[in-house]
Amino acid sequence: MLNTALFVNNTLPVFCQTFRRYLNNNVASITKVHRDIYTRMYPTIVVLSDGSSINIRYHEPRRIIKLPLDLSELSEDERKARLEKRKPKKKVKITDDIQDDFNAKKYLKYLKK
């Protein structure tokens, strides 16, 4: 009779009220988004500096976001190689010596009159 009286009044016992799950946006980042209406998010791949990749939702339509490499974690040789790649490449000037020894009289015999 006591249990029916509690449910008739639409109240729960005190011990049941203390165990509530508060779902918010922090839980949504681990699982799916539990909202009916939310801003448009685009599937995006994030490539970390160690080469691994993860799938995220991003507010702009981009396919891949590549995070920068931390140069302090590289060895001295690898760091120098990376810094050399960043520098602009020098253009090589090629000078061709064109020999103009074309003689049109050689080909006159092939022409038909």
Q: How high is the pLDDT of residue 101?
A: 82
- Here the contacts of 70-73 (C-beta below 8 Å, separation 24 or greater) are none
pLDDT in tens, 28-45: 556 666 666 667 889 999
Residue among 43, 71, 68, 69 at smallest CA distance from 57: 43
**What are the φ and ψ backbone dihedral angles of 66, each rounded to 5 degrees?**
-105, 120
Given a contact cutoff of 8 angstroms between Cβ atoms, the answer to whether 79 and 71 are in contact is: yes
pLDDT, one tens digit per residue, over 41-97 is 899 999 998 889 999 998 889 999 999 888 888 899 999 998 999 899 888 888 887
Q: Supply φ then ψ for residue 5, to 5 degrees.
A: -70, -35
